[in-house]
Amino acid sequence: MNITIIGTGYVGLTSGTCFAEVGHNVTCVDNNPEKIETLLKGEIPIYEPGLADLVKQNVAAGRLKFTTSTEEGVKNGDIIFIAVPTPPQADGSVDLSFIEKVAREIAQCLTPEHGYRVIVDKSTVPVKTGDKVEQTVRRYAPEGVQFGVVSNPEFLREGCAVDDLLNPDRIVIGSNDEKALTYMHKLYEPFVAPVLVTDINSAELIKHAANSFLALKISYINAVANICEAAGADVEKVAEGIGMDKRIGRQFLNAGLGYGGSCFPKDIKAFINISETLGQPFGLLKEVERINFDQADRFLNKIREKLWVFREKKIALWGLAFKQNTDDVRESVAVTLAQKMLDEGASVIATDPQGIPTAKKFSNLTGDITFTEDMYAALDGADALIIATEWPQFAAADLCEVAKRLRTPLVFDGRNLLDPEDVKAAKLEYYSIGRPAID
Ligand code: NAD
């Protein structure tokens, strides 16, 4: 099929590439000319495992194109995806101006000669946005244009997006238009995954309800971790015991610094706002947010308690990305922690396998911060090591080397990455989340 994706970011680029990989002809549109130039040169603007090769192969096969022209995109695509940002506003509601703009632009490029078109929202949007997209396209398109609107929320995880897209747990398609559903079934035919067809409102709600539930699991285990700390228990064992119950499952029960990234914080805020707007306030989610917000501060207090003051302390920070296997530092707890320590006068030397360029470009960190590619060099003469992102290379660190390089052998592990037995053997003083300290 001929597909167009408007918005070539994390979601647009990865999903467009995967649609090309299964045989569709894809045009990816972005209004950022720098991004399109980069892609046309054969470079990839983001780090996502496996993506660079797939882009290269599908461009070479003639199935994947990039352009800044929405008009070209609309001309090429029988199915037109919208994958633009939906950032939060100050009151927690979603800024839908990017979606509205794209809906208008699509409408103005459509002509009756194009024939029937399907307009699919892949961005995460509040329930009833599909209705607004339909009204907007209807209002701005010339008379006689035929189209259907679909909600097809995206569930990919950054860091394993390619695999998530090619082998999804489920595909959710919401539409009130039978013809649009036929197109969507054909589009997803090459994928081996259960397809759930719903009305458009339900599909939109599924995305916010799913992300909120995952965030709830994270905050739940973090609250349990705090109880474990007070009681001298081990949250890793507790999580294992809970997770062995198939009704609960072990995934997303990892105690740590809480959730960050470009999706969870904004989506939970949005769902709280949506529930209030609909007159059904979702108080439970406010508590999920509060626990999450407090988690980084609790960790910082733990560090402060041992270091006494941050001023004139050199801190080695392992991790900048909001999670492993990505370069994305948007709403990263690691970055928040770094800024708080810098504000209190610490000097921070940070490392991350992929996040250094993005942190330099986007994180606005201010203060005495330097970066190094070498995770061990970051430790030289430092007063403490803080682990803030769960990269496997940090978990596999040579702890004797860590002890040798640190000025004082203090380690604060915000992701419970290290094995307490190894820590003991290396004679490190060690504080993690919801596990007994080793001092
Ligand atoms: P992103 O910022 O990485 O990409 C969005 C792209 O849209 C940018 O490249 C931007 O230049 C482009 N854009 C903006 N306005 C445009 C316009 N008028 N015409 C053409 N291009 C335009 O964002 P993202 O992370 O890909 O997220 C997009 C949506 O998908 C959001 O709603 C997000 O919540 C949702 N989502 C994200 C993820 C994720 O892991 N990143 C997962 C699931 C859903």
Protein residue with least CA distance to atom 30, ligand 1: 123
Instruction: Give yes or no for residue 324 CB within 6 A of ligand 1.
Output: no
Question: What is the whole-number distance in angstroms between the Cα of residue 341 and the centre of ligand 1?
Answer: 31
Q: Please give the pLDDT value at position 52.
A: 97
Protein residue with least CA distance to atom 3, ligand 1: 9
**Of 284, 316, 266, 149, the residue nearest 213 (C-alpha):** 284
Q: Please give the pLDDT value at position 316.
A: 98
Q: Looking at ligand 1, which atom is closest to the CA of residue 11?
A: 26
Question: What is the whole-number distance in angstroms between the Cα of residue 370 and the centre of ligand 1?
Answer: 30
Beta-sheet pairing, 314-318 with 347-351: parallel
Ordered by start, the domain boundaries in the chain are: 2-198, 199-439
| Token pair for 367 | 């203060």
Distance, CA of 38 to CA of 103 (rounded, Å)? 26
Q: Looking at ligand 1, which atom is closest to the CA of residue 32?
A: 11
Distance, CA of 259 to CA of 384 (rounded, Å)? 23
Q: Please give the pLDDT value at position 398.
A: 98
Q: Looking at ligand 1, which atom is closest to the CA of residue 262?
A: 41
Q: Are 267 and 124 in contact (CB under 8 A)?
A: yes
SS3 call for 245? coil
Q: Please give the pLDDT value at position 12.
A: 98
Q: Please give the pLDDT value at position 119.
A: 98
Q: Please give the pLDDT value at position 297.
A: 97
Protein residue with least CA distance to atom 34, ligand 1: 124
Instruction: Give yes or no for residue 158 CB within 6 A of ligand 1.
Output: yes
Q: Looking at ligand 1, which atom is closest to the CA of residue 13?
A: 26
Question: What is the whole-number distance in angstroms between the Cα of residue 202 and the centre of ligand 1?
Answer: 22
Q: Fold match between 2-198 and 199-439?
A: yes
Q: Please give the pLDDT value at position 225.
A: 98
Q: Are 215 and 264 in contact (CB under 8 A)?
A: yes
Q: Please give the pLDDT value at position 234.
A: 98
Instruction: Give yes or no for residue 347 CB within 6 A of ligand 1.
Output: no
Instruction: Give yes or no for residue 32 CB within 6 A of ligand 1.
Output: yes
Burial class (CB in 10 A: 0-12, 13-18, 19+), 295: buried
Question: What is the whole-number distance in angstroms between the Cα of residue 233 and the centre of ligand 1?
Answer: 42
Beta-sheet pairing, 25-29 with 384-387: unpaired
Class of domain 2-198: alpha beta
**Cβ neighbours of residue 44 closer than 8 Å, sequence gap 6 or more:** 13, 38, 51, 52, 55
Instruction: Give yes or no for residue 83 CB within 6 A of ligand 1.
Output: yes
Per-residue pLDDT of the chain (439 residues), as tens digits, is 999 999 999 999 999 999 999 999 999 999 999 999 999 999 999 999 999 999 999 999 999 999 999 999 999 999 999 999 999 999 999 999 999 999 999 999 999 999 999 999 999 999 999 999 999 999 999 999 999 999 999 999 999 999 999 999 999 999 999 999 999 999 999 999 999 999 999 999 999 999 999 999 999 999 999 999 999 999 999 999 999 999 999 999 999 999 999 999 999 999 999 999 999 999 999 999 999 999 999 999 999 999 999 999 999 999 999 999 999 999 999 999 999 999 999 999 999 999 999 999 999 999 999 999 999 999 999 999 999 999 999 999 999 999 999 999 999 999 999 999 999 999 999 999 999 999 9
Q: Please give the pLDDT value at position 249.
A: 97
Q: Please give the pLDDT value at position 141.
A: 98
Q: Please give the pLDDT value at position 376.
A: 98
Distance, CA of 64 to CA of 16 (rounded, Å)? 8
Q: Please give the pLDDT value at position 426.
A: 97
Residues facing residue 348 across a β-bridge: 315, 369
Angstrom CA distances, 369 to 177, 199, 340, stand at 54, 50, 12
Distance, CA of 133 to CA of 176 (rounded, Å)? 13
Question: What is the whole-number distance in angstroms between the Cα of residue 15 and the centre of ligand 1?
Answer: 11
Residues that are catalytic: 263
Question: What is the whole-number distance in angstroms between the Cα of residue 185 and the centre of ligand 1?
Answer: 24
Protein residue with least CA distance to atom 43, ligand 1: 154
Class of domain 199-439: alpha beta
